[in-house]
Structure 1
Amino acid sequence: MIESNQLLFFFSALGAFNGFILSIYFAINAKKKSFTNYFLSLLLLVLSIRILKSVFFFFNPHLSNIFIQIGLSACVLIGPFLFLYLKSYQKEEKLNWKKHVIPYFVAITILGYFYPYVEHRAIWSTRIVCVIYTQWFIYIILSLKYLRPVFRKIKEKESLKRLEVWFLGIYFGVAFIWLAYVMTPYTSYIVGALSFTFILYLIIVLLIFKTNSESTFFNEKEKYKNKEIDKETLSNIDQKLSVIIEKELFLNPNFSLEEAAKELKVTKHILSQYVNEVLGKSFSSLIKEYRIEKAKKLLESHNNYTIENLGYDSGFNSKSAFFTAFKKTTGLTPAEYQKNCLK
C-alpha cells in the first residue's frame, strides 16, 4: 500500500516538476525568442503551481493554507495565458495582453488579502472555486476562435503544419485538465495532477517531433534556407505553371502537389519551394485560388447554378468547403457575387 502511494505521488508530482523545468526553458533557452514563448512559459508555470498544490494537498491534507490559496489563485491565469498564447500567432489582431492578465491578477490578490483561505475556507471551496473554473472555461471557449483555421483544414482534409498540431495539443491538454478538475467530485482529486503528467509527456513528444533539424523553437524555420532555385528553373516553372490553368487540372478535387510536379516536370520539393517563396503561399492556397476564379467565371456567365453544383464544377469536394473559400477570398457569398455581376 505504501509503495502504491509512493508511485502515485511520484507520477502525479512528476508533471508539475517537469512543467516548471519546461516553463523556465521556454522563457530563457528558446533558440528564437518571441513574445509568444513567454505566454507559453507562463501558461505552464500557473498550471504547474495548480498541479503541485493538488499533489501535496492530496497526500498532506494539513498543507499550509497559504499554499492552497496560491494554487487555487493560479487557476485564474490559466485561461488567459492559453488565450493569449494562441492569439499571439494572429498577426492581424492586437494582443492587448494587459486587459486579460492584470485585472484578474489584481482581483485575486485583493480577494486573497481580504478573504484569506485560512479564514474563509468554505467560501473558497465552493463559490470562489466555482467562479475560477467558470472563468477558465470561458477562456477555453474564447480560445476556440484561433483554432478555426485548423479545424477547417481538418474538415477539408488538408495536411496540418507541425505548429498547428502543437496548438491542438496545448488547447485540448488544458481543456482536459480543466475537465479533470471539474469532475473530481465524481472521480478523485488526484486525477487532475495525473492528467497533467500524462498530457505534459504527450506535449514533450510533440516538442521532440517539432524541434528537429528543420524547425526552431515553435516557429517554422525558413524551410528552404540555403537551397535557392536557379534562375533557369525559376523561368521554366514560370512558363509552365499556366499549364495547370489551361488544362484546368485543378478541377480534379484530389489534384495534388505530386501530380502538379509531374505535369510540370519538376521535383515536388522544387515546386513547393517555388510556390512558397516566389508566390508567397501554399500549394493548396494556390489551387484554391484557381478554383475560385473558375467559380467566378461560371457565375458571370450562368445564372442557373446551385451552390453545390458550382462548387463541384469548380473543383471543390464539398459545398461547405467551396462556400467558405469563396466568402473568404471575395468577401461575398456566391449569390451576392452573381447579383453584383448582373447589375
Structure 2
Amino acid sequence: MPYKIDLFAIFILLGFFQAIFLSVFFLSRENRKTQVNLFWGVLLISQGACILEIFLMYTGYIVNTLYLVDFSEPLGLMIGPSFYLMALSVTRPPLSKKYYWHFAFPLLYFVLLIPFLLQPDVVKYNSWVGAYKVPLPFKEYHYHGNPRVFWLTDHATEFILTSIVLYTILLCVEVLRFFKQKGISFWRPGSNAFKYLRNHFLVVVSTVLLLLIVKAINQHDTGDHIFATFIAVSIYLTSFQVMQHSHFFKQSSAQEAERYKSSTLSGEGQQMLLKKLDNFMIAERPYLSPDFSLPELAQKLGTSVHILSQVINVGLRKSFFEMTAEYRVEEAKKMLIEYNNIKVEEIAEQVGYNSKSSFNTAFKKMTGKTPSEYRRENAKA
C-alpha cells in the first residue's frame, strides 16, 4: 500500500508540531503557575498525540511505527477533562487538587492498555488493518488469548466519545451558570477573560458536533482526518491568540533613547503632554486592557510614539511598562480593599494582567507586599 500524502496530511502534521511547540510554552516554569495554562498545555499535548496517530494511520506511515498503534487512546480520554478544567480555572480559581481526580480514568485506562502496548508489531499491524479496513491481508500470528486483555480497552472510541460529550455537557452547564450568575451578556462579555471563556465554549461545542457528525457518517475511523484537520485549525487559532496578546509586538524601538538628543520637544510642550497623559489615564483608564500599548496610547493622545516615549522616559523617569504597572497596581489596591469578596485572580484580570504571577510580581515590587498581604493588613486597619 503506497503512502498517502495530501493537503489533509500536511495540515494535520503541521498542527501536531504547532501543538507540541505551544505546549512547551504553556507548560514552561513560569506559565504553568497559572492553572489555565497548565490545563491548556495538557490539552495541547493530548490533541497533538491524537492527531499524530491519525496522521500516521491516514498516510500509511504507521507501518513504519507500529509501536505507536493506539498509543494515543489514554490521551484521547484526557481531552474532555482538560477543556473542562480549563473553564473551571477561569470560573472558580484557584482549583484545589481534588479536581485532578478527573484524570483518574485516563490513567486507569493507560494501565489497562499496557498489555496491548507490549504486544509484538504483527499484532499492532493486524489491529490497524482491522480498525481502518485497510485493503491489506492480515499477517499470520498465533494469538495467546485476546491482545486486549481488559474489556475497557476494547471500546476506546466509545469511551472517548462518551467522555468528550459528558465533559462538554458539564462545560455548557458551568459556562452558562457563570454568565448568568455574573449578569454578563454571553455575546458581549466585555472583559478579555469572559471573551476567552465564551470562545473556548464555542470552539469545544463546535468541535464535538463535528466529531459526532464524522463518526456518524464513517462507521470506522476513515473520517478521522477531517476531525484532525479541525483540531489543527483550533491549534493554529490558539497560536494566533497567544501572539495577539504578546507584548513582543508592542515594544518601542531600542534606538529611541538616542533620538531624544535631537528632539525638538520643548520643556513646556513636555509638561503639557504630561498633563494630558495624566488626565487621559485617570479619565479613560486604558491600562485596564491587557492589550494596552504605547502605539495605541500615542494615537489616543494625538502624538507620535517617539515623542510620547520621550515624555514618559524623561519626564516621568520610567518606562512605559513601569508607568502602566503603577496605574494598574493603584487600581488593584483600591479593589482589594473595596471588593473583599472578589478573588485576587479576578482582580488581576480586571486591572489588565493575564497572569496572576505577573500581577503578584508587579504588586510586590510597587508595595513590598503581595496582594493577599496588602488586603489582609488593610482589612485589619
TM-score (norm 2): 0.51
Contact 1:80 1:100 in 2 (8 A): yes
Which amino acid in structure 2 is aligned with residue 195 of structure 1? Answer: F
Alpha-carbon distance, 1:91 to partner? 3.0
Say which of 167, 171, 175 aligns to 1:143.
171
Contact 2:9 2:58 in 1 (8 A): no
Which amino acid in structure 2 is aligned with residue 191 of structure 1? Answer: I
Alpha-carbon distance, 1:130 to partner? 0.7
Q: Which residue of 1 aligns with 2:230?
A: 195
Q: Tell whether 2:26 aligns with 1:50.
A: no
Q: Is the alpha carbon distance of 1:190 and 1:129 closer, same or farther for their aligned partners in structure 2, counting shifts above 3 Å?
A: same
- SS of the equivalent of 1:128 reads helix
Which amino acid in structure 1 is aligned with residue 74 of structure 2? Answer: S
Alpha-carbon distance, 1:99 to partner? 1.2
Q: Which residue of 2 aligns with 1:94?
A: 96
Q: Is the alpha carbon distance of 1:68 and 1:177 closer, same or farther for their aligned partners in structure 2, counting shifts above 3 Å?
A: farther
Which ranges of 4 or more aligned residues in structure 1 deviate by more than 6 Å? 123-126, 270-276
Structure 1 gaps, min length 5: 216-232, 234-260, 286-343
Percentage of matched positions with identical amino acids:
14
Alpha-carbon distance, 1:184 to partner? 2.4
Q: Which residue of 2 aligns with 1:278?
A: 334
Q: Which residue of 1 aligns with 2:19?
A: 19
Q: How does 1:53-202 map to 2 (within 5 A)?
A: 53-60=53-60, 62=63, 64-89=65-90, 90-91=92-93, 94-101=96-103, 103-114=104-115, 118=124, 119-120=147-148, 127-148=155-176, 149-150=178-179, 152-155=183-186, 158-185=188-215, 186=217, 188-202=223-237
Alpha-carbon distance, 1:31 to partner? 5.6
Contact 1:76 1:105 in 2 (8 A): yes
Contact 2:77 2:159 in 1 (8 A): no
Alpha-carbon distance, 1:22 to partner? 0.1
Contact 1:56 1:63 in 2 (8 A): no
Q: Which residue of 2 aligns with 1:34?
A: 34
Contact 2:32 2:38 in 1 (8 A): no
Contact 1:166 1:206 in 2 (8 A): no
Say which of 206, 224, 234 aligns to 2:241.
206
Which amino acid in structure 1 is aligned with residue 236 of structure 2? Answer: Y
Q: Which residue of 1 aligns with 2:368?
A: none
For the residues of structure 2 that align with 1:271 and 1:63, how far apart are their CA atoms?
54
Contact 2:109 2:152 in 1 (8 A): no
- SS of the equivalent of 1:205 reads helix
- SS of the equivalent of 1:183 reads helix
Structure 2 gaps, min length 5: 118-122, 125-146, 251-277, 289-326, 343-381
For the residues of structure 1 that align with 2:335 and 2:200, how far apart are their CA atoms?
31
Which amino acid in structure 2 is aligned with residue 177 of structure 1? Answer: T
Q: Which residue of 2 aligns with 1:269?
A: 285
Report 1 or 2 for greater relative contact order, CA contacts < 8 Å, sequence distance ≥ 6: 2
TM-score (norm 1): 0.55
| Cα deviation digits, residues 136-171 of structure 1 (max 9, x gap) | 21112212344233465225x754222222233333
For the residues of structure 2 that align with 1:99 and 1:5, how far apart are their CA atoms?
40
Q: Is the alpha carbon distance of 1:178 and 1:126 closer, same or farther for their aligned partners in structure 2, counting shifts above 3 Å?
A: farther
